[in-house]
Amino acid sequence: MHIRLHPHWEIGAEDGPYLPTADLLQLLAALQDSGTLAQAARSLGWSYRHCWGLVKRAEAEFGAPLITAGRGRGSALTELARRLIWADRRIAARLAPLLESLASEVGHELDRERAPARRAVRIDASHGFAVARLMEQLQAARIPVELRYRNSLESVAALARGDCDLAGFHVPIGEFEPRALKRYLRWLRADQHVLVHLAVRTQGLFVPADNPKGIRGIADLVRPDVRFVNRPEGSGTRLLTELLLGRAGIAAERVRGFDDTEMTHAAVAAYIASGMADAGLGVQTAAQRFGLHFIPLLRERYFFALADNGLAQPPVQRLLALLASPSCRVAIASLAGYHAAETGRVQRLDEAFDALPPG
């Protein structure tokens, strides 16, 4: 049983009444795409009168215009209207992991009541586009999965405790690999765990479209006119940020905004796209979806770790078969900055990594 949860927000004065934003935001987004209120109304299947009334009620509530109309030039959104759209995208980006995890947990609680013998594969993983794409494939194949989004360290720790069947984490390719991997080896054991390859993906800097401040790399993060937005402690991307700063000889306290954090790649991208920061680190797909300029820095491998004795479990076998299928590889490879040539490959730790760090 699948449950979908969507964020819904209302806006108004402190003493009310509050204006529901769902229809208004749909209309503003359609107007942004079409350029005229009449075309926006047609694309939504709404009457022009309804749309005009919706805009006027909202403008009365805000005390400011949301659209401007020019003779022969259609309609355009005001800065306030654009801010509303970005606020909605930020809310959705920040809440998506929480809502998806909660929907998955509640759905499987209901499933256990309906079919108690049906076992779901429990996945703990850092939020990412390939994981989301895999979940779509699993749902289409009716393979039961219970997903919890956690950062990479929390995921592998949960696997070590037996709280999940697969744990998603990512490791940079190249010079940072040994130091990043060492953190996960606190919980992963070469004689107890195996790895399943999900994807190779590109990490880099997000900056606003057209890169107005001319940011070229990590060294620019110390500039006083550059505001950075980070990822939380424990996330693989936060570790990567710290490693990149260390290589450049930059102390964290020199980076304006180093302690400002967003939970996901998409939330970082939305934060920058809304004008609240000038740079952040994340995967290329997020930059593309939010219309940002992307500066590639390195590639990394995203794995699922699981206990080697879990490979024989039928639900896990079904999941791994789907992951290695051509359709799943095509779905993941279609994401910007993702490569799926080895998706579904099962390896021991000493096969995946040339030299495991000691300890």
pLDDT category, 117, cuts 50, 70, 90? low
Res 4 pLDDT > 90: no
| CA-closest candidate to residue 95, choices 149, 137, 131, 133 | 149
The CA-CA-CA angle for residues 209, 274, 15, to 5°, reads 165
The CA-CA-CA angle for residues 149, 106, 1, to 5°, reads 105
What pLDDT sits at residue 49?
93
| Cα–Cα dist 68/18, whole Å | 24
Over range 295-323, report the average pLDDT: 95
What pLDDT sits at residue 241?
96
What pLDDT sits at residue 294?
98
| Cα–Cα dist 268/281, whole Å | 8
Residue 167 contacts residue 343 (beta carbons within 8 Å): no
Over range 209-216, report the average pLDDT: 96
What pLDDT sits at residue 127?
81
Is the alpha carbon torsion for 167, 168, 173, 178 positive or negative? negative
Question: What is the number of other CB atoms lying within 10 angstroms of the CB of residue 40?
Answer: 25
Give the tens place of pLDDT for each residue, 234-280. Answer: 889 999 999 999 999 999 999 999 999 998 999 999 999 989 999 99
Give the tens place of pLDDT for each residue, 169-197. Answer: 999 999 999 999 999 999 999 999 999 99
Structure tokens at 44: 């939504």
Over range 54-72, report the average pLDDT: 83
Over range 11-31, report the average pLDDT: 83
- Amino acid symbol at 88: D
Phi/psi of residue 107, nearest 5 degrees: -60, -40
DSSP E strands: which ranges in the chain?
A: 10-12, 18-20, 67-69, 75-77, 121-125, 145-149, 166-172, 193-207, 228-229, 279-283, 293-307, 338-339, 346-348
Q: For the chain, first and last CA: distance in Å?
A: 43
Pairing status of strand 279-283 against strand 193-207: antiparallel
Res 322 pLDDT > 90: yes
Give the tens place of pLDDT for each residue, 120-136. Answer: 899 999 888 999 999 99
Collapsing DSSP to helix, strand or coil, 102 comes out as: helix
Indicate the length of the chain as a whole number.
Answer: 359
Over range 88-108, report the average pLDDT: 76
What pLDDT sits at residue 113?
61
Collapsing DSSP to helix, strand or coil, 69 comes out as: strand
pLDDT category, 74, cuts 50, 70, 90? confident
User: Is 300 exposed, middle or buried, given 0-12, 13-18 or 19+ CB atoms closer than 10 A?
Assistant: buried
pLDDT category, 116, cuts 50, 70, 90? low
Residue 300 contacts residue 190 (beta carbons within 8 Å): no
Over range 56-74, report the average pLDDT: 81
Residue 104 contacts residue 147 (beta carbons within 8 Å): yes
pLDDT category, 2, cuts 50, 70, 90? low
| Cα–Cα dist 200/245, whole Å | 22
Tell how far CA 261 is from the center of its chain: 14
Look at phi and psi of residue 250 and say left if phi exceeds 0, alpha if psi is from -120 to 50, else beta: beta
Contacts of 224 (CB under 8 A, 6+ apart): 256
Collapsing DSSP to helix, strand or coil, 322 comes out as: helix
